[in-house]
Structure 1
């Protein structure tokens, strides 16, 4: 729908004379009026497009949708860099629910709930004035200005409650991804009228495990996003590539820094910041929202929403949850929902994800059974019951569960270990000392991909980006440069919760290297009700660690060649039951390309600037007796595995 201009009440009838335009001498009168006014008297909402002034004089473009019957109605705000106008322009309709089909709009909650919907462009994007900074840091060491996203939210709420007489002067803020980040920033020195926040799949720490890096490995496939998002105010510049397969784009480009520079990205401030800060220094630490919120505290009831297969921001919601759980006063305002979704999947129909069938629309369940009462309790009627502190969907058995808290992230108690075994086995008991090693050769010239080739980048027609974390891993377990450890067949269900903790002891002939570890559910050889799932290898949890950061994320150091080293790191949170007849698998590899940039496996000061000559093969030797994964689960009986066939 094109932009609708609000007038109070019904539009007056216009005469043809009022619309007529004088023809230029010798010309033809234009068809298009100077200003077209939509006759919206039959619409069930009215729209206002306003420029709301901030304390420094900058005006932010804001779209306001008000139900015609609104009286004493709460306000739901989203602040976005993705065009407020676009987010309510998906259908030609006079019904508020029909036009709210954008990324953060959930009409079955927002429109049906009678909320006044407010969507605002952040500074420097689309219709707003000012300059844009990627994930603009809060006022502090990285931002000496007196304004930030927190003050912009405060000023916006102040304007709304004084200029929308239809409201009850209660405001909630909600958003997915970047918009989840802005929902978090609203929690710093919050406006008194802000009664609730719902950050969904939020960007929290771009170095530790969200958009830009995971444990020091750079997510090379984010370069197109940075290019488009940061190059122009209206995101008009589009990433270009001369190859269909992104594998070729990045392999020929050598390093992520060289690929970016070949497209002129040194003109973009954020790209230069990434090149200048490859390690977890103060630039990243001082803007990590989980750390900042832990210091700030939590004064506003907040529901964090996490997707178990989030291909973009799988770190943020859980890291923020654990940080706030440490402070009792913050924990009293803290809620969490986890579901079997990809990035933002909770806002859509979510009965399946890729090949995995959950046998019910889990997105609808979340929106109607969890989100709707949570918002209504704080914005409408406090007598409406709240959901549990933690609402989680357990995959495998496909059931919703409620609890008071997630298991602790360190697996100090209540855990069991999945031990590597000789001959590529996996068991709950440790092997004898001196069980030997398992080797593979990692060659940067032939890196392991994260999806089968051709690798189609996000946004390319046919790209599996949205579902790749649930894709079958058999293509990779068959590679000689992927170490695969597999258990016997389960005779009983085995349920894990929380974050698995990797303890991998390995040596390399190189002086640097990456380690990817995947925890996988292997389906039975035959699945009668869905034959194509026979033998399917489902990634339950997986992540990467750049070896130079094995001791310190802030201070990298070379790996001593041919010397066993411990690589310990957490995998993303899981809530999964391995069913009888299934097996448990662990895969270990040293590249995940081109999602992550290649490690040269020769230590250089800055991998973004590594020359082609630095990229060399290395033999990896994994110490079997000293490698395992801890999972939050009671230690099962030894008989949980069926006897191995001779």
Structure 2
């Protein structure tokens, strides 16, 4: 006798076959292309809705709503993206929601959240015109709409048309999505209760994607091309060779753009037309915009300690908003041991560094989810998000602070014989020749600014340039006790040049012991804890470039990225000084040209750079040292 389940299956199969044969035969030459296929099947454990939400000007924005079946009275978590809402909600086209959403979203859909992704204007399924980092309405945007209005209108629609929701909305996203998460807090919809901007694009000139302290970041060409071209976009078609050679052979940034037809792209032209921190850049700086407005939406700002793209934005917004946070409970800053957007992936390692567990998962579970729960859920737990959450690299532990920076700034002086000391040295100087024809590489050649090479370059061992004649290296002795820093180290570099312009790059480095049998990979490793550039022509102000007077000593001051790091006993602290970091940053010709973008081959000249120390010109890196 057949088992009942086997018998039932056989009956079903026979009835299905009979139904097919009962219909008219399918014409062999019938068109086999069909309009669509709903890949979400009835057995799926989730609901996925696709809608086009109208904005106030009639433009419709493509939106995907996804949540686990059976949800009621649930908060919504919105991401407004240029990176394709469909792709973000169909990762594996599985019938299991954990396989469909992005890895970092599993924690939210598994804890009762309705996840919403929306294509911003002009991208993927959305109507309208695309403008890179569309400015707020005002001097730079004379239309009726911006990301703030689009967020407001989107939330209004969601609250009205998603019956499974409790009417509370949060925002989250990294990089460009972090930018839109911030913009949504400008004149926000009352239903927006919390936001988590991760590595947000905030100021593209001071320290995020396109410039750092006036030096142009050449990888912006690839990003702009991929973002603004419907067909034929992606990376610049320069082949698979050494990017160092490709940029060097092209010459200036504009000559490179001409060679690859990039000047046809409005986004690229706009950047090249504004090499100085003028009103165009200042008018788009999100931290400056938010500083003018009341703080009404609780915010958890996040950045990676080795963020290779947007290290500036989150701390800058924190500094702009923290004075408005009178009870120290509305805006928090978090710094994790990650590369750009690393919080959304597995966080056990970065390059050769190994951490104590999956730090990204730890952060999502301990801080991100509780922050959203307390602000968005109907039966909300008490909010207790610390003002500052950081991961102490070197010591491998999470820490909380009440303020940031959380250390006392103490000068670490450059001195004679390549020394580095907390004691001010006698006056002196060191010189090196900077040759634009042989710029210092950012990585060992050949260089490819993509994949893991790009994601991990900020933790690359710096021994590959240590000893070059155009790289000055200063080091402490072996540390007998830990040095714990929490904040952004500050550079105070006293230097002169024989040219009329110069770049200066400073690296703060943790040098591991030469013998390390417990972890041989790290033996003698020179781990960067911060690398940043300053373009000399801006020494009198970012909006007022001027030639440098040859031979005159200037005080160049800027900050390195924010860190929480412990230099352990047995290690040494090192500082490197150089005048190029290529091809990440375009070369400084070192003669005076009104715009470096337009520099001609004859403009690139050698210059002797002199670093002064001690006396009235005491070069130092000021470390925010804690007392623990």
Q: Equivalent residue for 1:78?
A: 79
Question: Structure 1 unaligned runs (5+)?
Answer: 1-12, 637-646
Q: Equivalent residue for 2:423?
A: 429
- CA displacement 1:405-445 (0-9 Å, x = unmatched): 1127xx8xx2211001100100000012xx32111111110
CA contact (8 A) 2:413 2:621 kept: yes
Establish whether residue 46 from structure 1 lines up as the match of residue 47 from structure 2.
Answer: yes
Residue from 341, 358, 363 that aligns with 1:361 = 358
Q: Equivalent residue for 2:331?
A: 334
Question: Structure 2 unaligned runs (5+)?
Answer: 1-15
Q: Equivalent residue for 1:604?
A: 593
Task: Pick closer, same or farther for the CA change 1:330–1:315 going to 2, 3 Å.
Answer: farther
- CA displacement 1:357-394 (0-9 Å, x = unmatched): 11221101100001011111111133244221111101
Establish whether residue 138 from structure 1 lines up as the match of residue 130 from structure 2.
Answer: no
- CA displacement 1:225-261 (0-9 Å, x = unmatched): 11111122x7745420045110011001101121112
CA contact (8 A) 2:223 2:234 kept: no
CA contact (8 A) 1:52 1:159 kept: yes
Q: Equivalent residue for 1:271?
A: 268
Q: Equivalent residue for 2:11?
A: none
- CA displacement 1:120-145 (0-9 Å, x = unmatched): 00000111000100001011111011
| Separation in structure 2 between the aligned mates of residue 309 and residue 219 of structure 1, nearest angstrom | 16
| Separation in structure 2 between the aligned mates of residue 19 and residue 287 of structure 1, nearest angstrom | 63
Task: Pick closer, same or farther for the CA change 1:330–1:144 going to 2, 3 Å.
Answer: farther
| Separation in structure 2 between the aligned mates of residue 22 and residue 202 of structure 1, nearest angstrom | 55
Residue from 317, 321, 324 that aligns with 2:318 = 321
Moved more, 397-406 or 174-183: 397-406
Task: Pick closer, same or farther for the CA change 1:364–1:17 going to 2, 3 Å.
Answer: same
Q: Classify the secondary structure of the residue corresponding to 2:35.
A: coil
CA contact (8 A) 1:219 1:595 kept: yes
CA contact (8 A) 2:325 2:331 kept: no
1:22 offset after TM fit, Å? Answer: 7.2
Residue correspondences, number: 608
Q: Equivalent residue for 1:348?
A: 345
Q: Equivalent residue for 1:464?
A: 453
1:45-444 equivalent positions in 2, closer than 5 A: 45-101=46-102, 106-232=104-230, 236-242=233-239, 244-329=241-326, 332-380=329-377, 381-407=379-405, 414-432=408-426, 435-444=427-436
1:539-578 equivalent positions in 2, closer than 5 A: 539-578=528-567
Q: Classify the secondary structure of the residue corresponding to 2:364.
A: helix
CA contact (8 A) 1:449 1:591 kept: yes
Residue from 422, 440, 446 that aligns with 1:454 = 446
1:45 offset after TM fit, Å? Answer: 0.7
Task: Pick closer, same or farther for the CA change 1:294–1:45 going to 2, 3 Å.
Answer: same
Q: Classify the secondary structure of the residue corresponding to 2:465.
A: helix
Alignment TM-score, normalising by the size of structure 2: 0.94
CA contact (8 A) 1:600 1:607 kept: yes
CA contact (8 A) 2:168 2:192 kept: yes
CA contact (8 A) 1:211 1:313 kept: yes
| Separation in structure 2 between the aligned mates of residue 19 and residue 426 of structure 1, nearest angstrom | 87
CA contact (8 A) 2:54 2:61 kept: yes
CA contact (8 A) 1:250 1:594 kept: yes
Alignment TM-score, normalising by the size of structure 1: 0.91
Task: Pick closer, same or farther for the CA change 1:439–1:53 going to 2, 3 Å.
Answer: same
Q: Equivalent residue for 1:643?
A: none
| Separation in structure 2 between the aligned mates of residue 257 and residue 454 of structure 1, nearest angstrom | 23
Moved more, 28-37 or 287-296: 28-37
CA contact (8 A) 1:373 1:384 kept: no
CA contact (8 A) 1:216 1:546 kept: yes
Task: Pick closer, same or farther for the CA change 1:235–1:139 going to 2, 3 Å.
Answer: farther
Residue from 485, 490, 494 that aligns with 1:496 = 485
CA contact (8 A) 1:521 1:585 kept: yes
